[in-house]
Chains A and B, each alone.
Chain A
Amino acid sequence: GAGVSQTPSNKVTEKGKYVELRCDPISGHTALYWYRQSLGQGPEFLIYFQGTGAADDSGLPNDRFFAVRPEGSVSTLKIQRTERGDSAVYLCASSLIHLTDTQYFGPGTRLTVL
């Protein structure tokens, strides 16, 4: 079956611009997670959705970052006024219900802010 998909695979933008990154989780998975992976580091948690609601957004670095999941399936990570430090690979994962369920990761979106 289809895995987690993310679009675009690559995004190049200029400092100060707004970007949206999309995640399509595995069908039927109620939990959805966003992580950010900077060069040479492990993924860092950003936000976790259970259904339509953000159950934990403690990893969002500041108020320029926002994520939504309006219908409990597709999620969009939104970054306003991008900065060069936002350059990273943004990973999305989904799991069936609980955190101990296996998280299945998408291939990521590589964001480059010039």
Chain B
Amino acid sequence: AQSVTQLGSHVSVSEGALVLLRCNYSSSVPPYLFWYVQYPNQGLQLLLKYTTGATLVKGINGFEAEFKKSETSFHLTKPSAHMSDAAEYFCAVSGMEYGNKLVFGAGTILRVKS
């Protein structure tokens, strides 16, 4: 079955440091790619998505992600972490090889230290 892998169930960074959350997918055809964020006791919120076109995608709250076909990756980055970024982040994919449904990774909990 096609899958989505998020490396690291927990990531801890200092405030002001670079945030890097990793996501790899398995499919032979480039899928549509998404990053969602889930704050405690809240619903999932879309950060950014890639469907076609420019491979570097900018999202809300200063986040961006780059689609790299050769690496089957869609890592999420933010240059400078803020305390308010502490949340759980989910990478998701969709497309023909995924049965046209959203398939989520297991999630990465981001902790930001002061």
Measured CB to CB, the residues of A under 8 A from B are 3-4, 33, 35, 40-45, 48, 56, 58-59, 91, 93, 99-100, 102-108
Beta-carbon nearest neighbor of A4 in chain B: B43
Per the bound structure, the CA–CA distance linking A3 and B9 in Å amounts to: 29
Q: Which residues of A contact B49 (CB under 8 A)?
A: 100, 102
At the interface, yes or no: B102 with Cβ under 8 Å from chain A?
A: yes
Q: Which of B9, B101, B106 contacts A45 (CB 8 A)?
A: B101
Q: Which residues of B contact A58 (CB under 8 A)?
A: 99
Beta-carbon nearest neighbor of B49 in chain A: A102
* Contact bitstring B61-92, A, C-beta under 8 A = 1, else 0: 00000000000000000000000000000101
Beta-carbon nearest neighbor of B45 in chain A: A105
Per the bound structure, the CA–CA distance linking A33 and B44 in Å amounts to: 13
B43 adjacent to A99 (CB under 8 Å): no
Q: Which of B9, B41, B43, B101 contacts A105 (CB 8 A)?
A: B43
Per the bound structure, the CA–CA distance linking A35 and B36 in Å amounts to: 14
A103 adjacent to B102 (CB under 8 Å): yes
Interchain residue pairs with CB less than 8 A apart (25):
A3-B43, A4-B43, A33-B101, A35-B102, A40-B9, A40-B106, A41-B107, A42-B4, A42-B90, A42-B92, A42-B104, A42-B107, A43-B44, A43-B102, A56-B99, A56-B100, A59-B101, A91-B44, A93-B44, A93-B102, A99-B94, A100-B94, A105-B44, A107-B41, A107-B42
B32 adjacent to A100 (CB under 8 Å): yes
Per the bound structure, the CA–CA distance linking A33 and B104 in Å amounts to: 14
Q: Which residues of B contact A45 (CB under 8 A)?
A: 101-103
B104 adjacent to A44 (CB under 8 Å): yes
